[in-house]
Amino acid sequence: MTESRGGFVKGRFVEDLAASESTDDFAGVEGAGPSEDGPGAGASETPIEERLGAASASVTKAVDDVVGAVRTLVGTEEGHRYLEARVERTGEALMGVLRELQERVDGTLKKK
């Protein structure tokens, strides 16, 4: 994923804000045009659109970070060693749980 420039205009993300200044897309739709009154009147973006744009950019960055981490884990020797160590520790923990379960079953059977 790549980060693109743009922002939310009339409830949809537009990559190039200069190209989105046209109101033809929502002609005839009540409430879709620019508001003449209220907070942010005359501004190209309302505060909520700015917040949504920032949230969208944050999510995009988070996804890019996760993809990068996965590539490191899968595509490098260091990542392979890390995964092997985690798998080994998980296997040991699972074996411990199974041993404990077996001991409980054996204890229960001996009581009967």
Domain for residue 108, yes or no?
A: yes
Residue 24 has pLDDT above 70, yes or no: no
What's the confidence (pLDDT) of residue 62?
A: 96
Question: Same domain for 16 and 53?
Answer: yes
Q: Domain limits at 17?
A: 1-22+43-75
pTM over 0.85: no
Same structural domain, 71 and 82: no
Mean pLDDT of the chain: 79
pLDDT at 29: 47
| pLDDT tens, position by position, 41-95 | 545 568 999 999 999 999 999 999 999 999 999 999 999 999 999 999 999 999 9
Does some domain include residue 48?
A: yes
What are the distances in angstroms from CA 92 to CA 70, 103, 107? Answer: 24, 17, 23
Kindly state whether residue 32 falls inside one of the protein's structural domains: no
Structural domain includes residue 71: yes
- Give the pLDDT confidence score for residue 20 in this predicted structure: 44
- pLDDT over 90 (residue 97): yes
CA distances from 57 to 12, 45, 64, 89 (A): 14, 16, 10, 36
- Residue 22 — pLDDT band, cuts 50, 70, 90? very low
- Count of the separate structural domains present in the chain: 2
Residue 31 included in any domain: no
- The pLDDT value given to residue 45: 62
